[in-house]
Structure 1
């Protein structure tokens, strides 16, 4: 790539950790990513939980934005795992991410809610 090109390279997989194992996880298998106590966790389509060494802001910049959405400072969600979304506290949205027998509730902030609606209706 030369410096004139503006296309960014999108990740097709992430290297995540579980214990001492490093696992190559395809992005389409990722239901959501979130940060808690400065650690980034990845939940896959089977509900498995992994640790990722990259910060959320870096991941958000390299994941396909037609598939992944930065819901708030803590969560990035995959459109293919969204079960339902509804209003929450009048101006926010609650999004339910469904993975096997588990549901993750993610709150989309007031500032991001209009962008989420535009994104989900256009994808």
Structure 2
């Protein structure tokens, strides 16, 4: 809740959207294997607004990316906050490889993506309602 306490004095949002490719500590943690996509997702439940600038293997199925987006949308809906996803499938790259985005975007190691299939889950379709923020902003 530190962001909430700070925002009462300085204003702004009470969340963090830290791009993995732009944060030295996060890059080192991903490189060591101590920071996974699942842990980053879990962090968004309590202290973040989404997954940002995360490089994933280029052969990641669209249904898996859709499931990651659905997870974040569900987290946003249940926590009544806006969430977002910016994962980047990098063609020809696999876990442990690095990608250079250039400029301020930096570089990023390719992070492991869960190999369990999401096809049936995504094929169900459905809708996740957006968080209702218009009455509190």
**Higher-strand-fraction structure:** 1
So what's the TM-score if we normalise by structure 2? 0.29
**Higher-helix-fraction structure:** 2
Say which one has the larger Rg: 2
Identify the structure with bigger relative contact order (alpha carbons < 8 Å, sequence gap 6+): 2
